[in-house]
A and B are shown apart, each in its own frame.
Chain A
Amino acid sequence: MNILRKAIDWGMRKSPWIIHFNAGACNGCDIETIDALAPRFDLERLGILQQGSPRHADILVCTGAVTLQTRDRLKQIYDQMPEPKYVIAVGTCACTGGIFDGCYCVMGGIDTVIPVDVYVPGCAVRPEAIIDAVQKLLDSLKGGKKGGEKNAG
Protein backbone atom coordinates (compact mmCIF):
# COMPACT_ATOMS: atom_id res chain seq x y z
CA MET A 1 0.00 0.00 0.00
CA ASN A 2 1.56 3.27 -1.07
CA ILE A 3 1.62 6.52 0.82
CA LEU A 4 -1.09 8.14 -1.25
CA ARG A 5 -3.44 5.28 -0.62
CA LYS A 6 -2.78 5.50 3.08
CA ALA A 7 -3.52 9.21 3.01
CA ILE A 8 -6.79 8.64 1.14
CA ASP A 9 -7.88 5.96 3.57
CA TRP A 10 -7.01 8.16 6.49
CA GLY A 11 -9.07 10.98 5.00
CA MET A 12 -11.93 8.60 4.32
CA ARG A 13 -11.94 7.39 7.89
CA LYS A 14 -12.13 10.90 9.21
CA SER A 15 -14.84 12.24 6.93
CA PRO A 16 -16.59 9.91 4.53
CA TRP A 17 -19.19 11.44 2.21
CA ILE A 18 -22.24 9.37 1.56
CA ILE A 19 -24.84 9.27 -1.17
CA HIS A 20 -28.20 7.67 -0.71
CA PHE A 21 -30.04 5.80 -3.44
CA ASN A 22 -33.45 4.18 -3.33
CA ALA A 23 -33.42 1.17 -5.62
CA GLY A 24 -37.03 0.25 -5.00
CA ALA A 25 -37.59 0.38 -1.26
CA CYS A 26 -40.86 1.06 0.52
CA ASN A 27 -39.47 4.38 1.86
CA GLY A 28 -39.17 3.02 5.38
CA CYS A 29 -35.39 2.65 5.29
CA ASP A 30 -35.05 5.88 3.33
CA ILE A 31 -36.68 8.01 5.97
CA GLU A 32 -34.55 6.28 8.58
CA THR A 33 -31.42 7.03 6.56
CA ILE A 34 -32.40 10.69 6.38
CA ASP A 35 -33.29 10.51 10.04
CA ALA A 36 -29.72 9.48 10.79
CA LEU A 37 -28.72 12.87 9.38
CA ALA A 38 -31.39 14.78 11.32
CA PRO A 39 -30.85 16.32 14.78
CA ARG A 40 -31.51 13.29 16.99
CA PHE A 41 -28.81 11.08 15.49
CA ASP A 42 -26.85 13.65 13.54
CA LEU A 43 -24.30 11.71 11.51
CA GLU A 44 -22.66 15.00 10.62
CA ARG A 45 -21.15 15.33 14.07
CA LEU A 46 -19.07 12.25 13.17
CA GLY A 47 -17.84 13.94 10.03
CA ILE A 48 -20.20 12.05 7.76
CA LEU A 49 -21.68 14.30 5.14
CA GLN A 50 -24.56 13.67 2.78
CA GLN A 51 -23.72 14.36 -0.84
CA GLY A 52 -26.04 14.89 -3.78
CA SER A 53 -23.74 13.86 -6.57
CA PRO A 54 -22.22 10.38 -6.87
CA ARG A 55 -19.01 11.93 -8.22
CA HIS A 56 -18.25 13.39 -4.81
CA ALA A 57 -19.27 10.40 -2.73
CA ASP A 58 -17.25 7.70 -1.01
CA ILE A 59 -20.02 5.51 0.35
CA LEU A 60 -23.20 4.50 -1.43
CA VAL A 61 -26.00 3.87 1.05
CA CYS A 62 -28.48 1.84 -0.90
CA THR A 63 -31.97 0.82 0.23
CA GLY A 64 -34.54 -1.53 -1.16
CA ALA A 65 -34.72 -4.54 -3.40
CA VAL A 66 -33.43 -3.63 -6.86
CA THR A 67 -36.23 -3.24 -9.40
CA LEU A 68 -35.65 -3.85 -13.10
CA GLN A 69 -36.15 -0.17 -13.83
CA THR A 70 -33.59 1.09 -11.31
CA ARG A 71 -31.03 -1.66 -12.02
CA ASP A 72 -29.15 0.23 -14.73
CA ARG A 73 -29.36 3.51 -12.82
CA LEU A 74 -27.83 1.88 -9.77
CA LYS A 75 -24.97 0.56 -11.89
CA GLN A 76 -24.48 4.00 -13.42
CA ILE A 77 -24.33 5.69 -10.06
CA TYR A 78 -21.85 3.12 -8.80
CA ASP A 79 -19.67 3.59 -11.87
CA GLN A 80 -19.71 7.36 -11.45
CA MET A 81 -18.33 7.18 -7.93
CA PRO A 82 -14.55 7.70 -7.68
CA GLU A 83 -12.43 4.98 -6.11
CA PRO A 84 -12.05 3.92 -3.40
CA LYS A 85 -15.78 3.37 -3.04
CA TYR A 86 -17.89 1.36 -0.65
CA VAL A 87 -21.47 0.19 -0.59
CA ILE A 88 -23.75 -0.27 2.40
CA ALA A 89 -26.94 -2.25 1.81
CA VAL A 90 -29.54 -0.89 4.24
CA GLY A 91 -32.53 -3.04 5.07
CA THR A 92 -33.52 -6.65 4.65
CA CYS A 93 -34.72 -6.03 1.10
CA ALA A 94 -31.37 -4.54 0.16
CA CYS A 95 -29.57 -7.54 1.63
CA THR A 96 -31.57 -10.35 0.04
CA GLY A 97 -34.70 -9.02 -1.61
CA GLY A 98 -36.58 -9.70 1.61
CA ILE A 99 -40.34 -9.69 1.46
CA PHE A 100 -40.31 -8.66 -2.20
CA ASP A 101 -38.31 -11.70 -3.28
CA GLY A 102 -40.10 -13.41 -6.15
CA CYS A 103 -41.97 -10.34 -7.37
CA TYR A 104 -41.64 -10.15 -11.14
CA CYS A 105 -39.97 -6.74 -11.25
CA VAL A 106 -37.50 -7.40 -8.43
CA MET A 107 -33.93 -8.55 -9.07
CA GLY A 108 -33.17 -9.34 -5.44
CA GLY A 109 -30.59 -7.83 -3.13
CA ILE A 110 -28.22 -5.01 -4.05
CA ASP A 111 -25.42 -7.55 -4.46
CA THR A 112 -27.04 -8.98 -7.58
CA VAL A 113 -26.04 -5.75 -9.31
CA ILE A 114 -23.04 -4.21 -7.50
CA PRO A 115 -20.62 -5.51 -4.86
CA VAL A 116 -21.67 -4.75 -1.29
CA ASP A 117 -19.32 -4.16 1.66
CA VAL A 118 -21.67 -3.94 4.62
CA TYR A 119 -25.09 -5.53 5.02
CA VAL A 120 -27.52 -4.04 7.54
CA PRO A 121 -30.62 -6.19 8.00
CA GLY A 122 -33.81 -4.89 9.59
CA CYS A 123 -37.25 -3.81 8.52
CA ALA A 124 -36.96 -0.95 8.84
CA VAL A 125 -33.34 -0.44 9.84
CA ARG A 126 -32.92 1.87 12.80
CA PRO A 127 -30.70 4.93 12.46
CA GLU A 128 -28.41 3.55 15.17
CA ALA A 129 -27.78 0.51 12.99
CA ILE A 130 -26.87 2.70 10.03
CA ILE A 131 -24.42 4.67 12.15
CA ASP A 132 -22.94 1.41 13.42
CA ALA A 133 -22.62 0.11 9.85
CA VAL A 134 -20.72 3.20 8.77
CA GLN A 135 -18.49 2.88 11.83
CA LYS A 136 -17.78 -0.81 11.15
CA LEU A 137 -16.92 0.00 7.57
CA LEU A 138 -14.50 2.70 8.64
CA ASP A 139 -12.92 0.39 11.19
CA SER A 140 -12.37 -2.23 8.55
CA LEU A 141 -10.40 0.29 6.51
CA LYS A 142 -7.71 0.28 9.16
CA GLY A 143 -6.91 -3.24 8.07
CA GLY A 144 -6.10 -1.94 4.62
CA LYS A 145 -9.12 -3.18 2.71
CA LYS A 146 -9.16 -1.76 -0.78
CA GLY A 147 -12.54 -0.48 -1.83
CA GLY A 148 -13.67 -0.74 -5.42
CA GLU A 149 -10.82 -3.03 -6.37
CA LYS A 150 -12.58 -6.21 -5.41
CA ASN A 151 -14.60 -6.22 -8.60
CA ALA A 152 -11.50 -5.96 -10.76
CA GLY A 153 -10.95 -9.70 -10.77
Chain B
Amino acid sequence: MQDEQTSTVQAEQAIVEKICEKFGFLTGKVFVQRKKRILTQPLDKEEFEQLLHYAHDELGFYRASHVVGTDDGEDLGFIYLLVNEEGVILALKERAPKSNPQINSMTGVFPSLELHERELVDLFGADVRGLPEGPSFPLPDGWPKGNYPMRKDWKPEYFDRKTMTYNPPREDADKEAKSDE
Protein backbone atom coordinates (compact mmCIF):
# COMPACT_ATOMS: atom_id res chain seq x y z
CA MET B 1 0.00 0.00 0.00
CA GLN B 2 2.79 2.39 0.98
CA ASP B 3 4.74 1.68 -2.21
CA GLU B 4 1.67 2.25 -4.30
CA GLN B 5 1.18 5.59 -2.59
CA THR B 6 4.75 6.78 -3.28
CA SER B 7 4.67 5.70 -6.90
CA THR B 8 1.43 7.57 -7.61
CA VAL B 9 2.67 10.85 -6.19
CA GLN B 10 5.87 11.01 -8.24
CA ALA B 11 4.77 14.05 -10.22
CA GLU B 12 3.87 15.87 -7.02
CA GLN B 13 7.18 14.87 -5.43
CA ALA B 14 9.03 16.28 -8.42
CA ILE B 15 7.30 19.65 -7.98
CA VAL B 16 8.23 19.74 -4.30
CA GLU B 17 11.85 18.92 -5.14
CA LYS B 18 11.94 21.72 -7.70
CA ILE B 19 10.62 24.17 -5.13
CA CYS B 20 13.15 23.09 -2.51
CA GLU B 21 15.98 23.29 -5.03
CA LYS B 22 15.07 26.84 -5.91
CA PHE B 23 14.30 28.00 -2.38
CA GLY B 24 16.54 26.15 0.08
CA PHE B 25 14.84 27.77 3.05
CA LEU B 26 11.57 26.07 2.17
CA THR B 27 12.90 22.55 2.66
CA GLY B 28 10.58 20.73 5.02
CA LYS B 29 7.95 23.42 4.75
CA VAL B 30 6.47 22.10 1.51
CA PHE B 31 5.10 18.59 1.43
CA VAL B 32 2.85 16.25 -0.53
CA GLN B 33 -0.35 15.58 1.42
CA ARG B 34 -1.69 13.01 -1.00
CA LYS B 35 -2.20 12.55 -4.70
CA LYS B 36 -2.80 15.92 -6.41
CA ARG B 37 -2.33 17.87 -3.18
CA ILE B 38 0.78 19.84 -2.20
CA LEU B 39 0.57 21.82 1.01
CA THR B 40 2.90 24.27 2.70
CA GLN B 41 3.40 25.33 6.28
CA PRO B 42 2.37 28.91 7.03
CA LEU B 43 5.05 31.08 5.39
CA ASP B 44 6.38 34.60 5.86
CA LYS B 45 5.14 37.26 3.52
CA GLU B 46 8.37 37.37 1.49
CA GLU B 47 8.71 33.60 1.25
CA PHE B 48 5.08 33.31 0.27
CA GLU B 49 5.25 35.89 -2.48
CA GLN B 50 8.46 34.47 -3.93
CA LEU B 51 6.97 31.01 -4.05
CA LEU B 52 3.69 32.21 -5.54
CA HIS B 53 5.46 34.07 -8.34
CA TYR B 54 7.72 31.11 -8.98
CA ALA B 55 4.78 28.69 -9.08
CA HIS B 56 3.00 30.91 -11.58
CA ASP B 57 5.98 31.73 -13.79
CA GLU B 58 7.97 28.51 -13.78
CA LEU B 59 5.91 25.62 -12.47
CA GLY B 60 2.82 26.13 -14.62
CA PHE B 61 0.32 26.82 -11.87
CA TYR B 62 -1.67 29.02 -14.18
CA ARG B 63 -4.84 29.27 -12.19
CA ALA B 64 -5.68 30.38 -8.67
CA SER B 65 -8.93 28.78 -7.70
CA HIS B 66 -9.59 30.68 -4.49
CA VAL B 67 -8.33 31.90 -1.14
CA VAL B 68 -9.45 30.40 2.13
CA GLY B 69 -9.31 32.75 5.09
CA THR B 70 -8.97 31.20 8.52
CA ASP B 71 -8.96 32.53 12.06
CA ASP B 72 -6.04 30.97 13.93
CA GLY B 73 -6.39 32.69 17.29
CA GLU B 74 -3.83 35.48 17.33
CA ASP B 75 -3.28 35.33 13.58
CA LEU B 76 -5.28 35.32 10.42
CA GLY B 77 -4.39 32.57 7.99
CA PHE B 78 -4.70 32.80 4.22
CA ILE B 79 -4.55 29.73 2.05
CA TYR B 80 -4.09 30.39 -1.66
CA LEU B 81 -5.05 27.42 -3.81
CA LEU B 82 -3.24 27.23 -7.13
CA VAL B 83 -3.99 24.66 -9.79
CA ASN B 84 -1.89 23.50 -12.73
CA GLU B 85 -2.99 21.89 -15.94
CA GLU B 86 -2.78 18.37 -14.50
CA GLY B 87 -5.13 19.46 -11.74
CA VAL B 88 -2.55 19.37 -8.94
CA ILE B 89 -3.53 21.74 -6.13
CA LEU B 90 -0.74 23.72 -4.49
CA ALA B 91 -2.03 25.23 -1.25
CA LEU B 92 0.18 28.13 -0.18
CA LYS B 93 -0.32 29.42 3.32
CA GLU B 94 0.36 32.90 4.55
CA ARG B 95 -0.16 34.33 7.98
CA ALA B 96 -0.60 37.82 9.37
CA PRO B 97 -1.22 38.92 12.98
CA LYS B 98 -4.69 40.23 13.78
CA SER B 99 -3.16 43.42 15.18
CA ASN B 100 -1.73 44.22 11.75
CA PRO B 101 -3.45 41.96 9.20
CA GLN B 102 -1.66 43.35 6.19
CA ILE B 103 -1.00 41.28 3.06
CA ASN B 104 -0.30 42.18 -0.53
CA SER B 105 -2.91 41.57 -3.20
CA MET B 106 -2.03 38.85 -5.68
CA THR B 107 -4.50 40.03 -8.31
CA GLY B 108 -1.54 41.28 -10.36
CA VAL B 109 -0.47 37.67 -10.90
CA PHE B 110 -3.89 36.01 -10.80
CA PRO B 111 -6.70 38.38 -11.85
CA SER B 112 -9.20 35.72 -10.83
CA LEU B 113 -8.47 36.34 -7.16
CA GLU B 114 -10.27 39.67 -7.07
CA LEU B 115 -13.55 38.53 -5.52
CA HIS B 116 -11.84 36.19 -3.10
CA GLU B 117 -9.52 38.87 -1.77
CA ARG B 118 -12.46 41.23 -1.36
CA GLU B 119 -14.04 38.56 0.73
CA LEU B 120 -10.99 38.49 3.01
CA VAL B 121 -11.39 42.23 3.52
CA ASP B 122 -15.10 42.00 4.34
CA LEU B 123 -15.26 38.81 6.34
CA PHE B 124 -11.90 38.71 8.11
CA GLY B 125 -10.85 42.34 8.19
CA ALA B 126 -7.64 41.67 6.30
CA ASP B 127 -5.83 44.71 4.96
CA VAL B 128 -5.17 43.68 1.36
CA ARG B 129 -2.84 46.19 -0.28
CA GLY B 130 -3.13 46.84 -3.98
CA LEU B 131 -6.63 45.45 -4.52
CA PRO B 132 -8.27 47.12 -7.56
CA GLU B 133 -11.21 49.40 -6.86
CA GLY B 134 -14.70 48.02 -7.03
CA PRO B 135 -17.82 47.21 -5.05
CA SER B 136 -17.32 45.40 -1.77
CA PHE B 137 -18.18 41.73 -1.55
CA PRO B 138 -20.08 39.91 -0.07
CA LEU B 139 -21.49 41.81 2.93
CA PRO B 140 -24.62 43.91 2.42
CA ASP B 141 -24.68 47.70 2.10
CA GLY B 142 -24.77 49.44 5.44
CA TRP B 143 -22.89 46.71 7.30
CA PRO B 144 -21.35 48.26 10.44
CA LYS B 145 -17.64 49.00 10.11
CA GLY B 146 -15.22 46.98 12.16
CA ASN B 147 -17.41 43.88 12.28
CA TYR B 148 -15.75 40.87 10.70
CA PRO B 149 -18.23 38.02 10.90
CA MET B 150 -15.88 35.16 10.09
CA ARG B 151 -13.61 35.90 13.05
CA LYS B 152 -14.18 33.42 15.83
CA ASP B 153 -14.88 36.03 18.50
CA TRP B 154 -17.75 37.51 16.46
CA LYS B 155 -21.00 35.79 17.36
CA PRO B 156 -24.11 36.07 15.17
CA GLU B 157 -26.32 35.91 18.29
CA TYR B 158 -25.28 39.43 19.28
CA PHE B 159 -25.95 40.95 15.90
CA ASP B 160 -29.20 42.90 15.64
CA ARG B 161 -30.30 42.48 12.04
CA LYS B 162 -32.98 45.17 12.16
CA THR B 163 -30.70 48.00 13.21
CA MET B 164 -27.50 46.42 11.82
CA THR B 165 -25.63 46.84 15.09
CA TYR B 166 -23.43 44.44 16.98
CA ASN B 167 -24.19 44.41 20.71
CA PRO B 168 -21.98 41.97 22.59
CA PRO B 169 -22.83 41.59 26.27
CA ARG B 170 -20.71 43.91 28.39
CA GLU B 171 -17.94 42.18 30.28
CA ASP B 172 -18.93 43.70 33.61
CA ALA B 173 -22.47 42.44 33.04
CA ASP B 174 -21.00 38.97 32.78
CA LYS B 175 -19.14 39.45 36.05
CA GLU B 176 -22.27 40.74 37.80
CA ALA B 177 -24.20 37.73 36.63
CA LYS B 178 -21.46 35.49 37.92
CA SER B 179 -21.30 37.23 41.32
CA ASP B 180 -25.08 36.82 41.60
CA GLU B 181 -24.67 33.12 41.28
Taking Cβ atoms with an 8 Å cutoff, the residues of A that contact B are 67-69, 102-107
Asked if residues B156 and A102 are in contact (CB atoms below 8 Å), the reply is: yes
Determine which of B141, B142, B159 lies in contact with A104 in the assembled complex, contact meaning CB atoms within 8 Å.
B159
In the bound complex, do residue A107 and residue B161 qualify as a contact, i.e. CB atoms below 8 Å apart? yes
Hey, which chain B residues are within 8 Å of A107, CB to CB? 161
Q: Is B140 an interface residue (CB 8 A)?
A: yes
Decide: B156 and A67 in contact? CB cutoff 8 A.
no
Does B59 have its Cβ within 8 Å of any Cβ on chain A? no
Q: Which residues of B contact A67 (CB under 8 A)?
A: 140
Q: Chain A contact residues: over half helix, strand or loop, or mixed?
A: mixed
Cα–Cα distance between A35 and B161 once the two chains are bound (Å) = 33
Q: A139 CB to closest chain B CB, in angstroms?
A: 35
B139 is contacted by which of A102, A103, A105, A106 (Cβ under 8 Å)? A105
Distance between Cα atoms of A102 and B159 in the complex (Å)? 10
Q: Are A103 and B140 in contact (CB under 8 A)?
A: no
Contacts A102-B156, A106-B161 known; list 17 others, CB within 8 Å. Answer: A67-B140, A68-B140, A68-B142, A68-B143, A68-B161, A68-B164, A69-B140, A69-B141, A102-B157, A103-B156, A104-B149, A104-B156, A104-B159, A104-B161, A105-B139, A105-B140, A107-B161
Residues of B within 8 A of A69 (CB): 140-141
A73 and B33 CA atoms in complex are apart in Å by: 46
Chain B, Cβ-Cβ closest to A69: B140
Q: How far is the CA of A102 from the CA of B156 in the complex (A)?
A: 7
Bound-state Cα–Cα, A143 to B143, Å: 44
6 intermolecular pairs with C-beta atoms under 8 Å apart: A68-B142, A102-B156, A103-B156, A104-B161, A105-B140, A107-B161
Q: How far is the CA of A37 from the CA of B156 in the complex (A)?
A: 38
B148-159 CB mask vs A (1 if < 8 Å, else 0) is: 010000001101
> Nearest-CB distance from B156 to chain A (Å)?
4
- Among B140, B141, B149, the most chain A Cβ lie within 10 Å of the Cβ of B140
Question: For the complex, what is the distance from the CA of A104 to the CA of B141, rounded to whole Å?
Answer: 14
Which parts of B63-119 form the interface with A (CB within 8 Å)? none
